[in-house]
């Protein structure tokens, strides 16, 4: 089944935040972001800005009637800066004007009197200065101290992983419309309607029931709108509250890039030990998470880094510590993978390091150490592993041996082009790592004409969750898909939701919908049984027909629904689902945090142009553990999109901050995401159809995040290609592997002789886009 939104998407009639028809008198907001990353804010000079035509009012921290606080996990982030600024782009004031242009023009006229303070952008420096978001966490298993003595080989090194801009094509935004009785309707481009509701409620000091949050769909989220949509909604709400007028703010791309957090950059130190048969027997790792200026979701992201620090491998002795470091960057936030990818990159780097020194293929170590069913993860959960099965199937299906020979042959015959291959196994746990968030509700109404509408807390952002939920209802009722409609997400219909995140949205909301539909179905069967003089368990509905003992009865769905209505039987149900079995003890750092794991293996091939340092992705071939996919079209799309986003993160997407904490890659001209020419020539996806029972909806395993991590293989494939050209190459474990890094590595440790020290040059900027 195709995405149920596809028709409106292709005809341009899908409604996003900026497309909502405006109510007469709507005003426009624009935020002033701090021009410096750290400093004391003395005062704001607003007079000149207020004199601009069409400016209505400028809001500052003093205007906030409730708590000036938007921190979710930790209360450490003001909505508007009052006495200190902590990052460039931190909102200081909110201008409201009659037009968008006037609001933006006025923002430029505000003068902020700020005394700069020292700026930290490096997480190691923050850690050294004890600038921490929270105390460090450590996961351990076995005894690494003991294990080092048993190792034949020990390698240690450092890793520096850059962040990633979400670059949802629809920027952040909100539109707030005052309602009667001091209530507000908030349209928001958010993955977390409840988070928006809570933030507006806190900042206005109003009860949550006065705040209605409506989300139709997002033009992409990827985690960037899980927590960071709150700010814009709260600012518009603040203005709408004071002015009694509708207020809208859809961010300009450059505002969005400058003011919002990104995927967390990490630094890490690793030490890996192998025995003489190449079993990894010890692994120690210290992560320095660059959290930015406030906690945001960093504590959650940090935990997932620890959960996935051994990726798909079983390592008996592990000691992993993670520091969440407070720097003066915009607060970093959720991004597809949620800290997992950074954890995985480090173990892959450690393995690649070992393989290079031992002069073997990294794949030998990778394959040898894949986790098996019954092995224990460092956090105590026992693996139900498909890692070996995925690897085996990939190696066979894609003829890994023949492939490697072909690559070797190519490299032997080409002087200026070299190919590299890499395997990338992935193991990703499904559930919010914060156990209490794993719940959802669904409200299902069957109308008297037999049509069905469903409300859940799920937010549709292209991942196809609404399509899957619709499929659940159509399948349980056994009715035509076009009888079912999904409603916009609304906090009035569904309360206290978890955000659409953690790949778990379809599972949680799908299961709640399943329960609601089943409850209605049971009642309908009772009605049929009474009318047809049989038992309820003899009644089934197949293709809209009511059957008794599998024989037609002449009744159809519509008739059944009408009968139930006349008998005053409820045709509505609100169901609540909470994932069973999961638990986690954060004191012991042990438990069973995940409903299940998703596994997979990718093999990636790249070709490097060794003259120019540019490269292309030849192929990514994957065996992915789908369970049994309930929508192969959507799931394939998630995998392809995830792979390309992961490759982007590893290759061309370079977030650049200068030492003063100012974002240099602040537009699409300086921050490059993959375009159509940059994607792998070939992406092949095959399914590992695992039959084991699991907690996924219809056993269709979650697919949102795991594929992103296949992209990590691109970095290692590039590294392998570089080593083919220059076996002495110096290739530090720094991401992304831009053409610059590739070229510098290709010619590192080589006699070039020409590039000598040149005088420091004048200050013209090559960037003028």
Measured over all CA atoms, what is the biggest interatomic distance in the chain, rounded to whole angstroms? 96
- Name the residue nearer to ligand FES (CB basis): 152 or 169: 169
Closest CA to 445 of 357, 572, 337, 287: 572
Query: Using CA atoms, how far apart are residues 464 and 482, in angstroms rounded to an integer?
Result: 16
Alpha-helical regions (H) of 336-493: 340-358, 362-368, 387-397, 400-413, 465-477
Catalytic, 705? Answer yes
664 interacts with other proteins by CB under 8 A = yes
Q: 314-353: which residues touch other proteins (CB under 8 A)?
A: none
Instruction: Give the residue, chosen from 83, 551, 728, 768, that forms a contact with other proteins under the rule CB under 8 A.
Output: 768
Instruction: Give the residue, chosen from 243, 364, 679, 734, that forms a contact with other proteins under the rule CB under 8 A.
Output: 679
Both tokens assigned to 212: 């209605």
642 interacts with ligand FES by CB under 6 A = no
Q: Give, for 554, the enclosing helix (H) or strand (E).
A: strand 551-556
600's contact among ligand FES, other proteins, none, with CB below 5 to 8 A by partner kind, is: none
704 interacts with ligand FES by CB under 6 A = no
Q: 6-25: which residues touch other proteins (CB under 8 A)?
A: 6-16, 18-19, 21
464 interacts with ligand FES by CB under 6 A = no
| Interface size with ligand FES, residues (CB under 6 A) | 3
171's contact among other proteins, ligand FES, none, with CB below 5 to 8 A by partner kind, is: other proteins
Q: 387-426: which residues touch other proteins (CB under 8 A)?
A: 416
Q: 107-136: which residues touch other proteins (CB under 8 A)?
A: none
- Name the residue nearer to other proteins (CB basis): 69 or 670: 670
Q: 116-175: which residues touch ligand FES (CB under 6 A)?
A: 169
Residue pair 331/295 in contact by the 8 Å Cβ criterion: yes
Residue pair 104/52 in contact by the 8 Å Cβ criterion: no
225 interacts with other proteins by CB under 8 A = no
462 interacts with ligand FES by CB under 6 A = yes
761 interacts with other proteins by CB under 8 A = yes
Q: Which of 348, 589, 605, 705 is catalytic?
A: 705
Q: 459-478: which residues touch other proteins (CB under 8 A)?
A: 461-464
Closest CA to 408 of 711, 718, 713, 721: 721
642's contact among other proteins, ligand FES, none, with CB below 5 to 8 A by partner kind, is: other proteins
587 interacts with other proteins by CB under 8 A = no
Residue number with the smallest Cβ distance to ligand FES = 169
Residue 163: is it exposed, middle or buried by C-beta count within 10 angstroms (0-12/13-18/19+)?
Answer: buried
Instruction: Give the residue, chosen from 72, 173, 220, 221, that forms a contact with ligand FES under the rule CB under 6 A.
Output: 220
246 interacts with ligand FES by CB under 6 A = no
Q: Which residues contact 508 (CB under 8 A, 6 or more apart)?
A: 438, 439, 440, 458, 498, 577, 579
Both tokens assigned to 769: 């886009």
Q: 468-527: which residues touch other proteins (CB under 8 A)?
A: none
- Name the residue nearer to ligand FES (CB basis): 95 or 461: 461
6 interacts with ligand FES by CB under 6 A = no
Q: Which residues contact 550 (CB under 8 A, 6 or more apart)?
A: 540
Cis preceding-peptide flag for 736 (omega within 30 of 0): yes
- Name the residue nearer to ligand FES (CB basis): 169 or 492: 169
727 interacts with other proteins by CB under 8 A = no
Q: Give CA separation, 389 vs 209, 307, 586, 626, in Å.
A: 50, 22, 32, 13
167 interacts with other proteins by CB under 8 A = yes
Residue pair 623/710 in contact by the 8 Å Cβ criterion: no
- Name the residue nearer to other proteins (CB basis): 217 or 328: 217
Binding mask 433-462 for other proteins (x = CB under 8 A): ----------------------------xx
Closest CA to 220 of 255, 189, 264, 252: 189
Both tokens assigned to 676: 């159509």
Both tokens assigned to 732: 């530090």
Query: Using CA atoms, how far apart are residues 513 and 517, in angstroms rounded to an integer?
Result: 6
Instruction: Give the residue, chosen from 367, 493, 645, 700, that forms a contact with other proteins under the rule CB under 8 A.
Output: 645
Cβ neighbours around 184 below 10 Å, total:
24
Catalytic residues: 705
| Binding stretches for ligand FES (CB under 6 A) | 169, 220, 462
């Amino acid at each position: 089944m195709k995405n149920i939104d596809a028709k409106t998407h292709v005809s341009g009639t899908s409604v996003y935040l900026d497309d909502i028809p405006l109510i007469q008198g709507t005003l426009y907001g624009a935020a002033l972001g701090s021009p410096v990353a750290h400093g004391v804010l003395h005062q704001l000079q607003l007079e000149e800005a207020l004199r601009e035509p069409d400016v209505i009012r400028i809001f500052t921290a003093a205007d906030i009637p409730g708590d000036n606080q938007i921190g979710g996990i930790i209360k450490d982030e003001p909505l508007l800066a009052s006495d200190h600024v902590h990052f460039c782009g931190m909102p200081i004031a909110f201008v409201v004007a009659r037009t968008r242009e006037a609001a933006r023009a006025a923002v430029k006229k505000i003068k902020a009197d700020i005394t700069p303070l020292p700026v930290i952008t490096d997480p190691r420096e923050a850690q050294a200065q004890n600038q921490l978001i929270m105390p460090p966490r450590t996961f351990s298993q076995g005894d690494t101290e003991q294990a080092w003595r048993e190792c034949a080989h020990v390698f240690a090194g450092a890793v520096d992983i850059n962040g990633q801009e979400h670059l949802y094509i629809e920027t952040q935004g909100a539109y707030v419309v005052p309602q009667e009785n001091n209530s507000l309707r908030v349209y928001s481009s958010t993955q977390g309607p409840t988070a928006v509701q809570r933030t507006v409620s806190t900042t206005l000091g109003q009860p949550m029931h006065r705040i209605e949050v409506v989300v139709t769909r997002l033009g992409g989220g990827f985690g960037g709108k899980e927590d960071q949509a709150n700010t814009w909604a709260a600012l518009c709400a603040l203005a709408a509250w004071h002015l009694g007028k509708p207020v809208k703010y859809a961010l300009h791309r450059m505002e969005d890039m400058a003011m919002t957090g990104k995927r967390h950059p990490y630094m890490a130190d690793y030490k890996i030990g192998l025995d003489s048969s190449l079993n990894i027997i010890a692994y120690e790792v210290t992560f320095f998470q660059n959290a930015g200026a406030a906690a945001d979701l960093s504590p959650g992201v940090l935990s997932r880094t620890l959960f996935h620090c051994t990726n798909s491998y079983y390592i008996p002795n592990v000691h992993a510590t993670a520091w969440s470091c407070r720097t003066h960057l915009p607060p970093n936030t959720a991004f597809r993978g949620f800290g997992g990818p950074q954890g995985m990159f480090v173990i892959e780097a450690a393995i690649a390091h070992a393989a290079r020194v031992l002069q073997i293929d990294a794949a030998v170590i990778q394959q040898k150490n894949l986790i098996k069913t019954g092995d224990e993860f460092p956090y105590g959960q026992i693996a139900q592993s498909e890692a070996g099965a995925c690897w085996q199937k990939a190696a066979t299906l894609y003829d890994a041996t023949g492939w490697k020979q072909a690559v070797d042959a190519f490299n032997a015959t080409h002087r200026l082009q070299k190919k590299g291959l890499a395997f990338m196994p992935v193991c990703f746990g499904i559930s919010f790592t914060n156990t209490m968030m794993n719940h959802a509700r669904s409200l299902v109404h069957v109308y008297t004409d037999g049509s069905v509408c469903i409300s859940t807390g799920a937010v549709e952002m292209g991942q196809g969750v609404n399509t899957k939920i619709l499929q659940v209802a159509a399948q349980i009722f056994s009715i035509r898909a076009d009888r079912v409609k999904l409603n916009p997400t609304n906090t009035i219909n569904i309360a206290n939701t978890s955000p659409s995140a953690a790949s778990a949205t379809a599972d949680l909301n799908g299961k709640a919908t399943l329960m609601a539909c089943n409850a209605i179905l049971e009642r309908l069967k009772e009605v049929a049984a009474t009318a047809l003089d049989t038992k309820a368990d003899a009644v089934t509905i197949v293709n809209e027909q009511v059957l008794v003992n599998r024989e037609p009865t002449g009744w159809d769905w519509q008739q059944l629904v009408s009968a139930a209505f006349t008998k005053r039987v409820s045709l509505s149900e609100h169901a609540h689902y909470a994932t069973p079995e999961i638990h986690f003890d954060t004191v012991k750092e042990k438990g069973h945090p995940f409903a299940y794991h998703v596994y997979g293996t990718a093999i990636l091939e790249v070709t490097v142009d060794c003259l120019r340092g540019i490269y292309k992705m030849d192929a990514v071939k994957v065996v992915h553990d789908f369970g049994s996919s309930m929508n192969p079209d959507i799931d394939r799309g998630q995998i392809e999109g995830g792979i390309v986003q992961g490759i982007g993160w590893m290759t061309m997407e370079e977030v650049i901050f200068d030492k003063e904490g100012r974002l240099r890659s602040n537009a699409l001209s300086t921050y490059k995401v993959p375009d159509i020419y940059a994607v792998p020539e070939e992406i092949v996806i095959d399914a590992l159809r695992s039959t084991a029972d699991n907690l996924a909806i219809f056993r269709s395993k979650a697919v949102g995040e795991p594929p992103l991590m296949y992209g990590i293989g691109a970095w290692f494939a590039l590294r392998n290609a570089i080593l083919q050209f220059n076996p002495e190459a110096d290739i530090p474990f720094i991401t992304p592997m831009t053409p610059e890094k590739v070229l510098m590595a290709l010619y590192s440790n080589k006699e070039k002789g020409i590039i000598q020290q040149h005088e420091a040059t004048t200050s013209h900027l090559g960037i003028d886009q």
